[in-house]
Structure 1
Amino acid sequence: MSGVKAKVHVFLKPGVLDVQGKAVENALHGLGWPDVGNVRVGRLIEFDLPGGDRAAAEAEVKAMCDKLLANPVIEGYRVEVA
């Protein structure tokens, strides 16, 4: 069965408070990396899709992001299809 592998990187938009990112940044400072700054935490979603048309798969994954995988009010996303 041929298909494509999709990766969706979801992240908070600039200006949206990233509480997890701030916690990670503070922890890194406490562990000896005081120069680390502007830490942002996101998530990665990976899945397979049937078919071999990369353009169609990318459009389908973007539709999934807009409807479920990302909250377009506060999150952005980047799609990779291979």
Structure 2
Amino acid sequence: MASIRQVKAARALLGWSQGDLAERSGVSKPTVARLETGEGELGGYADTRDKILSALEAAGVIFIEQNGEGPGVRLRKS
């Protein structure tokens, strides 16, 4: 499971707006905006979370689990 901060960081690495993420994931922009206002783990329906995370991963984002240094994101090598 990814955190809201990881999703925001992933968008920043890709240079995507909330609208870009909405378009690429098939989730509405208001839903993306609503989900990003919280703290902690990415909420919403499981299907919605899967669409958002799949779109980011398809674009090259790797979600890094908590490993002593904290969770994070990075881009896959091209």
Q: Is the shorter-chain TM-score for this pair beyond 0.5, marking a shared fold?
A: no
Structure holding more strand per residue:
1
What is the TM-score normalised by the length of structure 2?
A: 0.31
What is the TM-score normalised by the length of structure 1?
A: 0.30
When Rg is computed on C-alpha atoms for both structures, the one with the higher figure is: 1
